[in-house]
């Protein structure tokens, strides 16, 4: 699966000297291109960034928007398919279409497919503001 291959490429760019837990993310755009992201840590822990947000922020910085995104694949060397943190769930909820595919996996090849709406029930975005 090309998505998983690209997510593994992304994990090679992790900067995780503190946790030693690398995460890679690969966004597949509808035009067939990929945008990669890796987790980047910092000695001031809250200043780090997860792979999912790194990839999404990069996509938006390049001018892409939610309608350009086909899916995102996230991988880590975890026991089960990697589970995004709450912050990443909220960012995916707002920056991706609610029915976009999210592919969660690990190095063992286990896969869980979901979407932003399922991953973050009761999430909120711009449409929820008055």
Separation between Cα atoms, residue 91 and residue 94, nearest integer Å: 5
pLDDT digits (tens, 9 = 90+) for 66-81: 999 999 999 999 999 9
Alpha helices in 26-124 (DSSP H): 51-61, 86-95, 116-119
Confidence of residue 41 (pLDDT cuts 50, 70, 90): very high
Task: Assign residue 32 a region (left: φ > 0; alpha: ψ between -120 and 50; beta: otherwise).
Answer: left
pLDDT in the model for residue 130:
62
Q: Which residues are marked as active site?
A: 52
Confidence of residue 35 (pLDDT cuts 50, 70, 90): very high
Alpha helices in 12-129 (DSSP H): 51-61, 86-95, 116-119
pLDDT in the model for residue 125:
80
Q: Give CA separation, 31 vs 28, 34, 45, 70, in Å.
A: 8, 9, 35, 9
Q: Which residues is 104 bridged to in the sheet?
A: 74, 112
Confidence of residue 124 (pLDDT cuts 50, 70, 90): confident
Q: Are strands 101-106 and 23-29 parallel, antiparallel or unpaired?
A: unpaired
pLDDT at 88 over 90: yes
pTM strictly above 0.85: yes
Backbone φ and ψ for 10, nearest 5 degrees, come out as: -65, -40
């Amino acid at each position: 699966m090309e998505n998983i291959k690209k997510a593994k490429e992304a994990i090679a760019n992790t900067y995780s000297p503190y946790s030693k837990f690398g995460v890679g993310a690969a966004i597949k755009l509808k035009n067939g291109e990929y945008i990669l992201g890796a987790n980047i840590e910092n000695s001031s822990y809250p200043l780090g960034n997860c792979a999912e947000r790194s990839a999404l922020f990069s996509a938006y910085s390049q001018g892409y928007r939610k309608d350009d995104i086909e899916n995102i694949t996230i991988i880590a060397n975890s026991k089960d398919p990697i589970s995004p943190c709450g912050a990443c769930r909220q960012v995916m909820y707002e920056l991706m279409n609610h029915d976009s595919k999210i592919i969660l996996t690990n190095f063992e090849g286990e896969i869980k497919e979901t979407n932003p709406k399922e991953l973050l029930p009761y999430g909120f975005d711009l449409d929820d503001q008055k």
